[in-house]
Amino acid sequence: MQGLGKRIQKCREKAGMTQEALAERVGISWNYLGAIEREVKTPKLATLVKIINALEVSADDVMLDVLRVGRKARCTKLEEKLQSLPDKKQDKILRILDFLIEEERK
What does CATH list as the number for 4-63?
A: 1.10.260.40
User: Using one digit for the tens of pLDDT, what is the confidence trace for 67-87?
Assistant: 766 667 678 778 989 999 999
Say if residue 31's pLDDT is above 80.
yes
pLDDT of 63 reads 84
pLDDT of 75 reads 81
Domain ranges of the chain: 4-63, 71-105
Q: Which residue from 26, 80, 27 is spatially nearest to 56, judged by alpha carbons?
A: 26
Give the gyration radius of the chain's Cα atoms: 17
HSE, side-chain direction, 13 A CA sphere, residue 48: 16
Task: For residues 103 and 98, give the distance between their C-alpha atoms in angstroms, rounded to a whole number.
Answer: 9
Q: What percent of the chain shows pLDDT beyond 90?
A: 74
pLDDT of 69 reads 65
pLDDT of 52 reads 97
Say if residue 43's pLDDT is above 70.
yes
